[in-house]
Amino acid sequence: MTEFTFTRNNRAPRTVGVLICVYAALLALVIVFEAAWWLVALLALPTLPALWDVAQDTSAGLSLNDSTLKWFTGSREAEVDCADIDYVRFDTRWDFSVRVSLVLNSGKRIRLPDESTPHHRDFEQVLQQAGFRVERHHFVAF
């Protein structure tokens, strides 16, 4: 009997620390280098999703039991019956991040959200203990 649960909160000290450093650097651009406000605003745009996640304190995660694999991120959630999963594919990308996909018996592929998955080495062990076939692919387009 396999029971596994993973949860990640986005209001983590690391996320807050990175946001503080980014906004301090942007403020330094304005004060020290007298950067144009529109340029600093443009540079701040990519941080808005992270700022929103911290403000909302969203969470993400997944759970695995004998019958289903469920995952959630924010207000979105999904689940797949374990009997429908043919194998689990781990793809290492060129930036060394690992993407996890479920390949169903029907041939359909479902990509798990990155924020919902635990560290790939831990997750691979859990899946193998649960009896899933796991495939690893390095540096290929999927």
Q: Each residue's pLDDT tens digit in the chain (142 positions)?
A: 579 999 999 888 999 999 999 999 999 999 999 999 999 999 999 999 999 989 998 899 999 999 999 999 988 999 999 999 999 999 999 989 999 999 999 999 999 999 999 999 999 999 999 999 999 999 876 5
CB 79 within 8 A of CB 71: yes
Q: Which two tokens stand for residue 132?
A: 């899933």
pTM for the structure as a whole: 0.78
Identify the pLDDT of residue 2: 74
Q: If DSSP codes are grouped into helix, strand and coil, which group holds residue 7?
A: strand
CATH 3.40.120.10 fits 4-8+60-138, yes or no: no
Domain ranges within the chain, ordered by starting residue: 4-8+60-138, 10-56
Residue 119: what pLDDT?
95
Give the Cα separation of 22 and 47 in Å (integer). 8
